[in-house]
Amino acid sequence: MNAPLTHSLDARYYTDPAVFENEMNGLLSRTWQFAGHVSQVPNVGDYFAFEIAGQNLFCIRGRDEVVRTFYNVCQHRAHEMVTGTGNTRVVVCPYHAWTYELTGHLRAGPNIKSVPGFDRSEICLTEVRTEDFNGFIFVNLDDNAAPMDEWYPGVRKELREYVPNIDRLAPLEWVEVPETCNWKVSVENYSECYHCPVNHPTFAEGVIKPETYDIQPDKTGGYVLRHTTECQSLDRMTYPIDLGANEHAGDYQSWFLWPMFSFQCYPGNVLNTYHWRAHDVDSCTVWRGWYTEDGAESDVIRGLAVQDRQTTVEEDIRLVESVHRGLKSRGYRPGPLVLDPSCGVNSEHSIATLQKWMREAVDG
């Protein structure tokens, strides 16, 4: 007897504002989210502000060289502490000049000594869980969250094998991609290559061999989807690579870290990344990161970024925005996923896993 078919999620998971609010207050507030790269805060006092799950935060490097993250709000009367990027000896609130050490502890404030019983040692900016993951800064608003190595087992070590120079890398270029769709539509599209041969000719013919493409969930139960494939023959590659550089020079591997980040290693040990930010139920932004040693100029990497933006990214925008419009159609009935027991490029077993995580995040 055949097993029951696995159907895609109901449209409400992507179109219902109440589901989105549930995710913002739940899933996205208790999972690891990308903040930035350590190269953005190389010196003591360097900082940058950013937003996660509707919360304004900032990272700053302390005198002990530790990069910390704080909610971007003064503990006095709730004014935002910093904007953009910069460097500072102490963090000063622009409203009433309450001054905090780089560790977040209150240092001083106008006339606070005149207040009976005022104990500045009890006041500190609210810190957020922060991890340095091979130079990439991630934060989690859940103080009790398991560490990243438990969420994404093996990925830290594997990345170093595929990108041996990862400690020397810095962003060369960020490509910002606004999309009019629910963030999960975009993440799902990234997490299968069933659509690649039809929709991504440059990627499928000039970077990878789609017939070798596969995506596998982590076998130990981690929240990782691993994409693997072989590179195209050298005469068809759209950029030069040295297959003799190391054992993974001819490989493509991607590690999607649920819910909103992916490391990609293109053939030639070229590191690039995706990270998503959800704005509302109908829109998100994707950032593509491209990296070189010390952020040095590279015609090859610049060319890849342009090629990717003009081909794969542009093609994906049209796909995900069409899907999001379709999810609002009264005629849509979620169909069965194509789950090939042998997996491979023409199977959606990775989507079945991803939608399981999505369903659990909303329904518990």
- For residues 235 and 352, state if they share a domain: yes
**pTM (two decimals):** 0.94
Whether 126 is covered by a domain: the verdict is yes
- Domain end marker among 78, 110, 140: 140
- Domain end marker among 107, 140, 173: 140
- For residues 348 and 277, state if they share a domain: yes
Q: Given pLDDT bands bounded at 50, 70 and 90, which one contains residue 331?
A: very high
| pLDDT at position 86 over 80 | yes
Question: The domain spanning residue 128 has which CATH number?
Answer: 2.102.10.10
Whether 15 is covered by a domain: the verdict is no
- For residues 177 and 206, state if they share a domain: yes
- Domain end marker among 98, 115, 140: 140
- For residues 57 and 125, state if they share a domain: yes
CA distance 234 to 362: 45
Whether 183 is covered by a domain: the verdict is yes
- For residues 175 and 206, state if they share a domain: yes
Whether 188 is covered by a domain: the verdict is yes
**What is the span of the domain harbouring residue 229?**
157-363
The pLDDT tens digits of the residues spanning 335-356 come to 999 888 888 777 889 999 999 9
- The number of folded domains in the chain is 2
Whether 146 is covered by a domain: the verdict is no
- For residues 190 and 128, state if they share a domain: no
Percent of the chain with pLDDT over 70: 96
- For residues 165 and 249, state if they share a domain: yes
The pLDDT tens digits of the residues spanning 255-306 come to 999 999 999 998 888 999 999 999 999 999 999 999 999 999 999 999 999 9
Question: The domain spanning residue 164 has which CATH number?
Answer: 3.90.380.10
- For residues 230 and 272, state if they share a domain: yes
Q: Given pLDDT bands bounded at 50, 70 and 90, which one contains residue 214?
A: confident
Q: Given pLDDT bands bounded at 50, 70 and 90, which one contains residue 204?
A: low
